[in-house]
Amino acid sequence: MNVITFPKQKLAPNTIEVQFDLGIWTLAYFRDRKFLSRLNMFSKAAAEAEALRLAESGFAWRMGDNGFVYIMADSSSGGCWAVARRSRSDNSDVVLGRHLSIDQAIHHAIHAARELGAELNLNGSFDDKGGAA
């Protein structure tokens, strides 16, 4: 009798977090709320630059558990980019600001997520498990 073992399915990360762990800046990778791995970085700036690059490609950037900050196209006032916040507890949305440039909107969204202790989601979709959909 032969026993066939199948390889384990690797979980793909969908959330990242910049961490300061034992004096080293790291980028932690998660799938929803489950920790998967950690990558050492040379500095905080390098970790945040990589986090922004990954956030722009679809990852959620976790800066806390206080809801989500996201950017959406807004057709009011002739068209712009709106920075909004979705509360985790009551699923309500509020517009935090409007910008003509996507770069200004991203800058505002990063600062708002830090101040609010929220996740930053630049791909426009997220699930109720705490990650990018």
Q: pLDDT by residue for the chain (133 residues), tens digit each?
A: 677 777 777 788 999 999 998 889 999 999 988 999 999 999 999 999 999 999 988 899 999 888 899 998 888 767 889 999 988 876 778 889 999 888 999 999 999 999 999 999 887 655 554 444 4
- What are the tokens at 104? 């200004």
Q: Is the pTM here over 0.95, yes or no?
A: no
- What are the tokens at 27? 């980028």
Residues 6+ apart with CB under 8 A from 20: 26, 44
Q: Cβ–Cβ contacts within 10 Å for residue 39, how many?
A: 12
